[in-house]
Chain A
Amino acid sequence: MAKDDSGLGACVVVVGDPGSELVRTTVRLAREREIDVAPCGDVYSAVAQTAKAAGRRLLVVGQIAELARENGVFFGIAAAPAVRCCCLLGKSGSAGREDLLAALRAGVTILGDVQDVQGVLKDWLTTAPSPGAPHSGREASQAKRRAQDAADASYEDLRATEAELSALLE
């Protein structure tokens, strides 16, 4: 079991119905690793929580349909250097293609299953930046590169990814 040893005050913001499998699983996994977890009922609360926790390393987890509300503005907000965002694809029809593309363009990690949260959490913890430097040049440049990579992705790439995601949605 990986544990947050970085001492950076990392926090997982999980967005959605408290009774949902995604929220329950994410809360359990975060607590097992002794990481602060902040459950939020909706994307509005998630924005407030993310802004309040500015300076901490954040992992935001939520259903794509919720996080993509308001034309995917949240993805832009969550593209800050110390924040990583991942979305779970819901049941078929719960997320539009525009939502998916907005998420992809912002470099958001897309999950196909709730159990994928475990891998994301582990990866997030192991790629932690050096202690005390949540906004270090390394982290900032990584985030910038992620965003740039996403922005540079050609339309054809996005179409291919979209096709894959459509298959997942069916």
Chain B
Amino acid sequence: MDRVSDSMAAPAFRRVLLIGDISKALLDAAYVNRYPCEVRTSILEGIDAAVRGRFAAVGIVMSGIAPQLGPALKALREGTKARVLLLAQMHEEPIARRLVETPGDEKLADAYLVCPTCLASLCSHAGIDQETEDGGQTTEGSRLASCVLRPPEFAELEQKIRHLEWLATTDDLTGLKNRRYIWEFARQILDHARQAKGRVTLLVFDIDNFKHYNDVYGHLAGDEILRQAGVLMRRCCRSHDVVGRIGGDEFAVIFWDDPNRTNSETERERRAATAEHPSEAILLAKRFQKEFGNADLHLLGPHGEGVLTISGGLASFPRDGATVQQLFERADLALRDAKGRGKNRIYLVGEPQSDIADIG
């Protein structure tokens, strides 16, 4: 079989094979028939079709197939030279990234898309363009007939799509994730945690007296404080934790079980922590609180060191709430409680007046 990159010389592969439950991955899964795609819900049937057919790419929905993913990807590599795309839920991104970034022959996938995504984006990543040849009156037949591979254009299109995705999910001031991403990620990770009995902790915090700094030192100084807070929080967290700015000077951090750790490790921790807030989340929040307090901001003048503090609230799933809305409400309530009791503290939900500073 020819490689996708050889497609200029070889007859173009014009279809994408999707394996798994695409309703979990694609916003427009119902319209799959309008695209040059075939779907197999069973992994084995998918591998069979991928090897027998001529596909530009094979997209595999990662959700719910963690144990089978490795062997399935190896089999696809053995049997086909089609581009392999992973359709990863947000919380599966660390695993997808690792699979894609593995160097050499061990690399089991070529790219990943974070879900939910759409068929047009998928086709673009697959290296399939759709152009109409009938004056814009696109029919299903003309779509299928006109799908051709043109790698240079796809690289450009893919770059634009990635930029749009970045704009849609990132807070441009701090470079952290934005509110939209945080809420969607929280929704997905709670779904996952319900099935896998995982732990998720939400920290919501804001910068004490931020309006004062803005008014006295100017908005540029205020922006710099926000940026510093973002950089420090990111540095204090683990790579899989998600940090975002959800508005004004308000930030949210989602701590969750490391997807790269073994099940037995997390299971042991789960059993120990079903009734408590996970100790790692508290430790990381404390670390950030300390680092931020020691941050030296020249913009605030010679006395700018050690003046910044934060207040926050920390809520854990499942003990403090079953939904994203509930967790945010509880964490926000604890944040306001912390503010009301003098600021510069992070309160744990469900434990009135419990400042994390008091936890050893």
Contact = CB atoms under 8 A, between A and B. Distances in A.
Interface of A: 41-45, 47-52, 54, 69-71, 73-74, 77
B72 A51 contact: no
Given A49-B79, A73-B42, A44 B52 contact: no
A74 B43 CA distance: 10
B48 interface: yes
A54 B52 contact: yes
Nearest to B46: A47
A73 B21 CA distance: 16
Interface in B39-74: 42-45, 47-48, 50-52, 68, 71-72, 74
A128 B76 CA distance: 30
A47 B52 contact: no
A161 to B, nearest CB: 24
Interface in B118-147: none
Contact of B78 (A45, A71, A74, A77): A45
Contacts of A48: 47-48, 51, 75-76, 78-80
B53 to A, nearest CB: 9
A73 B68 CA distance: 14
B71 A45 contact: yes
A47 B74 contact: no
Contacts of B43: 44, 70
Interface centre among B44, B52, B74, B79 (most CB of A within 10 A): B44
A104 to B, nearest CB: 19
A50 B75 contact: no
Given A73-B42, A73-B44, A73-B45, A44 B51 contact: no
Contacts of B75: 42, 44-45, 47-48
A47 B48 contact: yes
Contacts of A54: 52
B139 to A, nearest CB: 32
A60 to B, nearest CB: 13
Given A70-B44, A77-B45, A77-B48, 15 more contacts: A43-B44, A44-B44, A44-B74, A45-B74, A45-B75, A47-B75, A48-B47, A48-B75, A50-B48, A51-B79, A70-B42, A70-B43, A71-B42, A74-B44, A77-B44
